[in-house]
Amino acid sequence: MTPSLPSGGRKKPKSLPFHWPEREYWESEVKFHPERKWRFDFCYPALKIAVEQEGGVWVGGRHTSGAGFVKDMEKYNAAGALGWRIFRFTPWQMKSGEASTFMRNVLEGKG
Protein backbone atom coordinates (compact mmCIF):
# COMPACT_ATOMS: atom_id res chain seq x y z
CA MET A 1 0.00 0.00 0.00
CA THR A 2 1.33 3.44 -0.91
CA PRO A 3 1.64 6.15 1.74
CA SER A 4 -1.00 8.84 1.91
CA LEU A 5 -0.28 12.26 0.46
CA PRO A 6 -1.72 15.60 1.58
CA SER A 7 -4.32 15.35 -1.21
CA GLY A 8 -6.67 13.07 0.69
CA GLY A 9 -8.54 11.16 -2.02
CA ARG A 10 -6.50 10.00 -4.99
CA LYS A 11 -7.47 8.74 -8.43
CA LYS A 12 -5.97 5.82 -10.33
CA PRO A 13 -4.34 6.83 -13.62
CA LYS A 14 -6.65 6.65 -16.60
CA SER A 15 -4.36 7.99 -19.31
CA LEU A 16 -1.09 6.17 -18.76
CA PRO A 17 -0.14 3.98 -21.71
CA PHE A 18 -0.93 0.28 -21.25
CA HIS A 19 2.76 -0.63 -21.46
CA TRP A 20 3.73 1.77 -18.64
CA PRO A 21 6.02 0.07 -16.08
CA GLU A 22 4.47 -0.91 -12.75
CA ARG A 23 1.27 0.82 -13.88
CA GLU A 24 -0.72 -0.31 -10.83
CA TYR A 25 1.41 1.87 -8.51
CA TRP A 26 0.95 5.13 -10.43
CA GLU A 27 -1.75 7.67 -9.64
CA SER A 28 -3.01 10.67 -11.53
CA GLU A 29 -3.78 14.25 -10.57
CA VAL A 30 -2.25 13.98 -7.10
CA LYS A 31 -1.85 17.12 -5.02
CA PHE A 32 1.68 16.98 -3.65
CA HIS A 33 2.21 20.31 -1.88
CA PRO A 34 0.83 20.96 1.61
CA GLU A 35 -0.17 24.57 0.85
CA ARG A 36 -0.42 25.02 -2.93
CA LYS A 37 -3.01 23.44 -5.22
CA TRP A 38 -0.35 22.01 -7.53
CA ARG A 39 -0.92 18.50 -8.86
CA PHE A 40 1.24 16.04 -10.75
CA ASP A 41 -0.10 14.58 -13.97
CA PHE A 42 1.10 11.17 -12.76
CA CYS A 43 3.11 10.03 -9.78
CA TYR A 44 4.41 6.95 -8.01
CA PRO A 45 3.92 8.16 -4.42
CA ALA A 46 5.90 5.43 -2.65
CA LEU A 47 9.02 6.36 -4.64
CA LYS A 48 8.26 10.10 -4.87
CA ILE A 49 8.57 10.03 -8.67
CA ALA A 50 6.41 12.33 -10.78
CA VAL A 51 5.73 12.54 -14.50
CA GLU A 52 4.49 15.70 -16.14
CA GLN A 53 3.11 15.64 -19.67
CA GLU A 54 4.01 18.94 -21.32
CA GLY A 55 1.54 19.79 -24.05
CA GLY A 56 1.66 22.56 -26.63
CA VAL A 57 5.40 22.28 -27.18
CA TRP A 58 5.24 23.04 -30.92
CA VAL A 59 2.26 25.41 -30.90
CA GLY A 60 3.18 27.89 -28.17
CA GLY A 61 1.11 26.29 -25.41
CA ARG A 62 1.02 27.36 -21.78
CA HIS A 63 4.13 25.39 -20.81
CA THR A 64 6.25 27.21 -23.40
CA SER A 65 5.06 30.76 -22.79
CA GLY A 66 7.27 32.93 -20.59
CA ALA A 67 4.79 33.12 -17.71
CA GLY A 68 3.82 29.44 -17.99
CA PHE A 69 7.44 28.34 -18.06
CA VAL A 70 8.23 30.37 -14.92
CA LYS A 71 5.19 28.93 -13.09
CA ASP A 72 6.23 25.41 -14.05
CA MET A 73 9.74 26.08 -12.71
CA GLU A 74 8.25 27.25 -9.41
CA LYS A 75 6.16 24.07 -9.17
CA TYR A 76 9.02 21.72 -10.11
CA ASN A 77 11.48 23.42 -7.76
CA ALA A 78 9.01 23.19 -4.87
CA ALA A 79 8.43 19.51 -5.64
CA GLY A 80 12.19 18.89 -5.74
CA ALA A 81 12.59 20.62 -2.39
CA LEU A 82 10.02 18.17 -0.99
CA GLY A 83 12.07 15.23 -2.28
CA TRP A 84 10.25 14.47 -5.53
CA ARG A 85 11.99 13.45 -8.77
CA ILE A 86 10.17 14.99 -11.74
CA PHE A 87 10.36 13.72 -15.32
CA ARG A 88 8.83 15.68 -18.20
CA PHE A 89 7.56 14.26 -21.49
CA THR A 90 5.61 15.44 -24.53
CA PRO A 91 2.30 13.75 -25.44
CA TRP A 92 4.09 12.10 -28.37
CA GLN A 93 6.72 10.62 -26.04
CA MET A 94 3.96 9.27 -23.80
CA LYS A 95 2.05 7.66 -26.69
CA SER A 96 5.05 6.33 -28.61
CA GLY A 97 6.48 4.32 -25.73
CA GLU A 98 9.59 6.48 -25.39
CA ALA A 99 8.48 7.75 -21.96
CA SER A 100 7.55 4.30 -20.65
CA THR A 101 10.90 2.85 -21.79
CA PHE A 102 12.73 5.70 -20.08
CA MET A 103 10.73 5.30 -16.88
CA ARG A 104 11.25 1.52 -16.88
CA ASN A 105 15.00 2.21 -16.92
CA VAL A 106 14.62 4.70 -14.06
CA LEU A 107 12.66 2.21 -11.96
CA GLU A 108 15.26 -0.50 -12.66
CA GLY A 109 18.07 1.85 -11.62
CA LYS A 110 19.39 2.22 -15.16
CA GLY A 111 18.19 5.78 -15.73
The pLDDT tens digits for 22-78 are 988 999 999 999 999 999 999 999 999 999 988 765 555 555 567 878 998 999 999
Between the CA of residue 52 and those of 1, 49, 99, 105, what are the distances in Å? 23, 10, 11, 17
Q: Are strands 49-53 and 85-89 parallel, antiparallel or unpaired?
A: parallel
The model carries a pTM of 0.78
pLDDT-wise least confident of 52-56, 91-95, 103-107? 52-56
